[in-house]
Structure formats: structure tokens, C-alpha cells
Structure 1
């Protein structure tokens, strides 16, 4: 084959061949190919990861959960809020007490919060912006969700939410304000609407250092301008706490120490009415008479502790056409046993049904549901409460602040029922 090719070569082409002096190029070496790992391209995140504090039964521990996620983009009518602080309330313990067995799945904790908006639905861009500091109520006790989680999906049509005034309301206080202030504000508004409350009302408050009680004291004196001294039942150093918290009001309060009269706070009240003197009990339970008492029977009893003592003597303590309002009921509140949305005892149910026929005063067991859809349109309590906080008419008294890793300690402290103000939980970033 080679000889045939050489025999057929063209002499003309052979004559055109030229020898070059430049050497041939060097061979290019090729490295052996190897597979290496490289970073994957960035992908669009389709959800907001959420870290939540949950429980499964009343006797089980409170633990962290990562099951819930907020889908992106969020609903056009909702807001996503990164939670910074959350307030604890007795209702949290009552809800937990109702989970008798771990068969209902996980349930969240917390009903109010403060935080920062991270996502805004398309229909809400005119009123809200990313980065806005907000606070509000997240009240869904029957849906097993709570505010103690790193992010919340808020529906402003249902969930009360306000812009936080940065210079007048700290995020800690904001997280503990709206639920108890809303309770106090709506309770007193109902009494005023029914003709029980005016500037001359004589008011007795059982549980003055409860969070609702503290807001009630401020509203009665600074908002409703009640002129008479408030009769306030406290325990231990409650009178000192209230005097230091409200120095402008302390001289307009008659303090009754629940402990010094062995839980029978009706006793000094009846003695005052009988003797016309302000009375007190020393450490030895000895009656001491001091100044004159001229206010007579009370027009309104506001009970935030519970119990039957004052109620059993209500006929001799409350004016005809007066009112007795309780947020607890006949039994003294017990955070370790009370269950959310449980029935009252038979006597309390009878008073609610037939009280106006059996007694000369109104009896009301007041429950506050902040769901906006359940509130009459004429009642703009949310923004009115926001203005009261912004203007300094009322203040949220914070007792303790805990990290959410120390929630067990926070719940243990709340269970003692000795908190004098709000218990706040700091939510760490996630």
C-alpha cells in the first residue's frame, strides 16, 4: 500500500515542498481530569424558618420546635413579624392545664408580643413597611398557637397590632401592655356605659398588684378622673410597689393588706363602714384605727384575685345598683390547676343568670376576647390604648425579664402568683 502511494506522488507537488528551519511545536501536555465538589448555585428560599416554644401535655416539658414554617410569598393581607419579646399571662398556664394527655399535638405559648416587620403582604404596603417596630396581641387559644416563636404571621383584620413609639415605649413594656390594658380598658368602658362608673364612684380593687389591677388603678385616676380614694387590696409589699410605681396616685389609695387580715379582706372593709375610721392590722392581727373614713359603701368591686370572702359580704359592702365584676370567679385563682374556658361553679352561674333578680347589684364575670372581628366597630379600644401608652397616661410595670431558654424559671415564678407586674420573655434570633 505504501509503495503504491509513493509511486503515484505528483512530481509538481514534490517540487513545491519547502523545508522550514523553525522546529516543530512542542507537544501540549494535558493533566489528567479529576472530579471536584463545587458550591451549588443559590436557590430562592420559599419559607421563613420558625423556632417555637411548645408543649404536648400539662405534665410534659416545654420544648423548642422547628416544625412550623411561614410560606413565601406571604398572603397579600398579612404581615410577617420577627418577635423580639413576648409577655406571659395566666391564661398560658390555664391552656396548658387543659392538655391532660399528649394526644393533641404540640401547642404554643404566649398571647402578646413586640417585634419587627420582615415581610408585608401586597394589600398592606400603604400602611406597613419592612422594618417597622410593632407590638400586638396574638390571641388564638383554641388553635394551639402562641406568640413565643421567632416569627409570626399576623392578620391585622383579626390580630390587634400597633406601631411601637420607640421613644416612649420600650420593646419589653410593649410586649406586656396590650392584653391586660385592653382588659382593663374594656371592663371600665362597660361599667361606664351601664352607668356604674363616673368621677364620684367609690371603687374597691381586689388584686391591686396584678397586671390588670395596675392598669385599672391608672385608668381610674388618670383617665376617668375618679375623685375618691381607691380601696386597693394587696398582699405583702404590694402597697410599697404601687406607691413607687405611681407616686402621683399613692396618696389617693387606701391599702388593705390581704395577708395581715388572714385573707379576710372584707373584715377591715366592714370595720371601716361600721366605725367611720380607716383601719389597719399590724403583724399581730390587732385592729388599729387611724383617720376618718367617709366614703361609705362602694359602688364597684373589681376582683382580679377570686374568692368568696368579699362576695359573701357584698350586701353590706356594695351600694344598691352597684356592680361586682370579676375576671376570676368565686374560687381564688390557682395557676397550677385552673383550666382555660372551664365552667364556673353552680352559685356563680346562678348569679350570672339571675343576679339582677336576687341581688340589688349587677354581677359580671368578665372575659376579654381581643379578636377584632368580635369587637363592635364603634369600639376603637386598640388605638385608644395605644394613645394612652404613647402619651404616658398609663405605664406597663415589668416585674422580671427572662430569656426564652429559661422559660421554666419564668413559669415557676408565675405559678407562685407573687408577680407584681408583667413577666416578659426575650426571644432570641433564629
Structure 2
């Protein structure tokens, strides 16, 4: 396979500035990296948050968009083991130095030792594989907070169960952890969430979430884990009553509700009450945490589950013409700005 000479990518040069299509020469491949031809990249809330955040301001020059991808290996560094040209792969760019790249790009450099990456199975299309890394790995990070198994089946609540991360929490809680799952979503998504394995569904458009959960809690055992994929403080007053002392309330967003500002552990700094909850939960229970953690080994577990038909990747829409300002990237920006892109909208790269 011929080594490419140039690379096209969508980039921005100022915080929240306009995206531009930039073409640059492809440099020589470092010994510890792979060069991957990107076929698809998903759009996530973190994309717009980084785009409009001072966090990326420390990176000089233009900055790339997109963190996850699926593609084909076109070159292998001399010190990289276990990969060959032609391998199909999907993964996530985590290194801060890679903000200068982004996956809305024809080609990306990936260091497999420091960034989650695995070989794409045949049961996933590139579009499906590109939708997986951040949401599935975040789901695993949430489920790490489950208390140890006991004689009774563990019970999990998933708020935002039809979103990108929520769909993976529901599936993994069932097939990987054998939990009873109560999903919170709109009524129009109830059947979809049940098809993923949810045992019960609470329609937040017609039911009061807190009173419904508390009535179920009164009739049965306490819940073991509450995973909040929405954010805000709606369930904060009631979670100590819903969970037993060894249980945990885990949020991937924090107290914030603005989709344009960074979520995850950074909200400990902007909402100090979260620090108090974390410390109180650590000492007295139930535990509280705002998380964003990725373990590359979990991508291999996702592949194994998918090959057995136990989980599926859900893609809401594929946007064609990524490098067409009038269509592709204009639509991608609209999705990011609206907050509707939650790991299930995929940008197809030429």
C-alpha cells in the first residue's frame, strides 16, 4: 500500500472558531506509531466542548476535531508489534498532543501503546465501530463502581438510557454483569431500550422519576448503582435513599446542564459541592463520583461480546461528505451545537 503524500482534515485555529479544510503533507511515520486511513468518525458532546474550551488553547497552531475513529492501517512503525498493513482498526485518540490531529481527517497517527485501539471485527461496519470507543469505554468505567456480587442480583438505574453511553450501560450491565436494569428515557424510546435488555423502563415524560424509583425501592431491595448520563441535580436529593450504603451514584456529566461546557471530572472544579459528595460518600456511603475513564482492554471485551451477538452498536445517522462545507461538515457542526450528537451520529470520511 503506497504511503500517502498529503492529508486533508477539518481543523480550527481559535477557540470556538470556524472549521476549515486544511491539506498538509504527511510526515514520516514515527517508529512507535501506526498510520491509519480513517473511514468514519463519530460526533460526541466532548467534541464541541473541546472546540469551545480553553483546554485546547495550549496546543499551538491549528487543532483537529474528533476523538474516535474506524479505519485501515496503511503503514506500521518499525517498533510496533502485532499490527500489519491492511488491518482494520477502531479506537480513540486520547493523548493531548493528538489534539493537533483529530479524527475528522483522512489519516491519523496512532500510538497503540498509549491510545485505546483494537482490530475491527467483521460484525461491525466502519460506521458502527467508529461510534463505539468513547461511549462503550465510559460505560465500562461506570459499571466499575458496582459493589461486589452478593446472593441477590445487583440492580442498576440508567438515566439517559437511550443515549450513546446509556445504550452501552444497559447492554453491558445485562450481559457482562448480570444486573437487573431500570432504564430512564422518553416513552418513544422505551421499546428500543427494552430491546437492549432493560428489565423496566421509566418514561420521564409521563412519570415522576423520583417517586417511581422510591416506590420500587420501598417494595424491593435497594439499588446498587445509579448511572446518570444526563447531568444536573434532579436525582441528587434522593440517591442516598435509593442506594444501599455500598452502592454508588456515578455521573458522566456532573451538576452542569449546558452541553457546550466540559463535563466529567472537570466539574469538580466548577461545582465544589461534588467534592463534598465524593468525600461524604467515601466515608459514609453511598459513594458518589463524576467519571471519565478509559481502559483500552475493554475494547477487546466489546469485540468479543459483539462477535457472540450479545451487544450491538447503534448508529442514529451517517453524515456523508465530511469535507463538503455546504453539506457534510455544516451538518456536523449543527449536530454538535444542538447537543444532539451523543456518540450515535457518525461522520463518513472520504
How many residue pairs match? The answer is: 340
Structure 1 counterpart of 2:165: 212
Match of 2:204 among 242, 245, 258: 258
Structure 1 counterpart of 2:109: 153
SS class of match (1:322): strand
Aligned counterparts of 1:79 and 1:221: Cα–Cα separation in 2: 35
Compute the displacement of 1:49 (Å): 1.1
Higher relative contact order (CA 8 A, sep 6+): 2
Contact 2:132 2:343 in 1 (8 A): no
SS class of match (2:236): helix
SS class of match (2:38): strand
Compute the displacement of 1:384 (Å): 2.1
Structure 2 counterpart of 1:178: 133
Deviations 1:22-51 (A, max 9, x none): xxxxxxxxxxxxxxxxxxxxxxx9973111
Structure 2 counterpart of 1:48: 5
Residue 259 of structure 2 is aligned to residue 335 of structure 1? yes
Can you give the 5+ residue segments of structure 2 that lack an aligned partner in the other structure? Answer: none
Aligned counterparts of 2:224 and 2:57: Cα–Cα separation in 1: 46
Match of 1:61 among 18, 35, 41: 18
Aligned counterparts of 2:111 and 2:279: Cα–Cα separation in 1: 36
SS class of match (2:145): helix
Contact 2:50 2:56 in 1 (8 A): no
Contact 1:47 1:71 in 2 (8 A): no
Question: For residues 418 and 77 of structure 1, do their structure 2 counterparts lie closer, same or farther at Cα, with a shift above 3 Å needed?
Answer: closer
Aligned counterparts of 1:88 and 1:182: Cα–Cα separation in 2: 15
Match of 1:350 among 266, 271, 276: 276
Compute the displacement of 1:210 (Å): 1.6
Task: Report the RMSD for the aligned CA atoms in angstroms.
Answer: 2.8
SS class of match (2:347): strand
Match of 2:291 among 341, 366, 370: 366
Aligned counterparts of 2:344 and 2:56: Cα–Cα separation in 1: 29
Structure 1 counterpart of 2:311: 394
Structure 1 counterpart of 2:34: 79
TM-score, normalised relative to structure 2: 0.87
Contact 2:92 2:116 in 1 (8 A): yes
Query: Which entry has the higher C-alpha Rg, 1 or 2?
Result: 1
Question: For residues 360 and 77 of structure 1, do their structure 2 counterparts lie closer, same or farther at Cα, with a shift above 3 Å needed?
Answer: closer
Aligned counterparts of 1:100 and 1:160: Cα–Cα separation in 2: 21
